[in-house]
Chains A and B, each alone.
Chain A
Amino acid sequence: MARRDPLARPERLIPLVYAYVAYRLGSGPDADDVTSETMEHAYRYRERYDPAKGEPMAWLIGIARNCVADLVASRERVVDEPAPESATEEMEEEAMRRLSLTRAVARLDERERELIALRYGADLTARQIAGVLGLRPNAVEVALHRALGRLRAELERDPTSELRPSTSGAVRF
């Protein structure tokens, strides 16, 4: 039986891997390096990919998590601030919004940042995240909800943030 190639469309997968890594470490050279390392590993071990164990994206994120953990362990620090290149005065509005969001994500604790990165960086479903982290999907949903609440609180604290919480909390269907 011919095995499915997990890297058949790398141009779709690489931005998601990068987004996951950048949410974990902050945008910049570290994110570039870890993304490159992740893809290097993926190209090298693509024959070991087992479709029965999950989607290619979940497999790639598993590799990326290991690379991030290696980097954190080797430097014994996590990049808590975004890259300095983005901190100029003449920044556009959109860039400022991104910056405040990245700062707020960086202020979350490791676990919450991991969940945000998996859900909104790598665009995994709760079920896929549960598979990656070895949790139940329901537990992932609850933890994600909590992480979003913390993120909103961090954004409120940031004076540059334009994303204010909706005071009504209206439910739109």
Chain B
Amino acid sequence: MRVFRHRTNEYGDLERQLRSDRPRPSRALLDQLVADAPARRGRSRNLVAGRLALAGLLTLILLGALAATGGVGQVASGSRVAAERVKAVVAAPFGQSKKTEPPSTNESKKTEPTSTNAATPNGGSLNALDAPTDPPGQDQYKPGCGRGDPNEPHTGPPGNNNGFPGRCPPSAPPPVTPLP
């Protein structure tokens, strides 16, 4: 530490002169540069605001032109049609089977197997047109019609001897166990 102090003070007078006689800018230059500071700050902010305003204006003009030529309605109807088509492809088989096949139909099909089932005892369908009447979303493929132990093999509902998969019986309410 002593060595360091000795070093710094060795040139103390020179350091003082270097600081006191450091070159200074002219008053005019200093005033000009100081005066430029707030102006530039404001200018950059104005520039950003101007760009945002221009972007908003262009968007409005584009939307106006689109509305004037019927583009908005066309886009709306197009998207509606697309949504309906997607709905028909994805949701129709499940909705149809639940709505159009009451439990009584299932009962009748149990005793009168379809031609497809008769032709193919393993339940496979030879005719692609039969697919909508026997959609895979129903519970005939679930073990025990969805009500059994998933660890046990199930061949279908009890009493169904017409081959697998058969039709599941309508779900019965759970048995009521009397309280002791």
Which residue from B5, B17, B40 sits with its C-beta under 8 Å from A97? Answer: B17
Q: When each residue 92-112 of chain A gets 1 if its CB lies under 8 Å from chain B and 0 otherwise, what string results?
A: 001001100110000000000
Which residue from A98, A141, A145 sits with its C-beta under 8 Å from B21? Answer: A98
* A11 close to B34 (CB less than 8 A): yes
* A172 close to B9 (CB less than 8 A): yes
Cβ of B13 under 8 Å from chain A: yes
Cβ of B37 under 8 Å from chain A: yes
Q: Which residues of B contact A23 (CB under 8 A)?
A: 22-23
Cβ of B6 under 8 Å from chain A: yes
Q: When each residue 35-66 of chain A gets 1 if its CB lies under 8 Å from chain B and 0 otherwise, what string results?
A: 11001000110100000000000000000000
Number of interface residues of A (CB under 8 A): 41
Q: Which residues of B contact A128 (CB under 8 A)?
A: none
Cβ of A73 under 8 Å from chain B: no
Chain A: interface secondary structure? helix
Q: Which residues of B contact A70 (CB under 8 A)?
A: none
Interface segment, one of B24-32, B132-140, B150-158: B24-32
* B33 close to A36 (CB less than 8 A): yes
Which residue from B23, B37, B40 sits with its C-beta under 8 Å from A102? Answer: B23
* B23 close to A120 (CB less than 8 A): no
Which residue from B4, B8, B21, B25 sits with its C-beta under 8 Å from A18? Answer: B25
Cβ of B10 under 8 Å from chain A: yes
Minimum CB–CB distance from B8 to chain A (whole Å) comes to 8
Which residue from A18, A36, A152 sits with its C-beta under 8 Å from B14? Answer: A152
Size class of the B contact interface (CB-based, 8 Å): 20 to 34
In the complex, which residues 84-119 of chain B have their Cβ closer than 8 Å to any Cβ of chain A?
A: none
Minimum CB–CB distance from B175 to chain A (whole Å) comes to 66
Cβ of B50 under 8 Å from chain A: no
Minimum CB–CB distance from A6 to chain B (whole Å) comes to 11
Cβ of B19 under 8 Å from chain A: yes
Cβ of A134 under 8 Å from chain B: no
Minimum CB–CB distance from B14 to chain A (whole Å) comes to 6
* B6 close to A15 (CB less than 8 A): no
Show 17 residue pairs from A and B whose CB-CB distance is below 8 angstroms, ordered by the A residue: A10-B34, A14-B30, A15-B24, A15-B25, A15-B30, A32-B26, A39-B37, A43-B40, A44-B44, A97-B17, A101-B18, A145-B7, A151-B18, A166-B13, A169-B10, A171-B6, A172-B9
Q: Which residues of A contact B (CB under 8 A)?
A: 7, 10-11, 14-15, 18-19, 22-23, 27, 31-32, 35-36, 39, 43-44, 46, 94, 97-98, 101-102, 116, 119-121, 123, 141, 145, 148-149, 151-152, 155, 163, 166, 169, 171-173
Closest 7 CB pairs of A and B: A22-B23, A120-B18, A18-B25, A19-B22, A148-B11, A43-B40, A27-B23
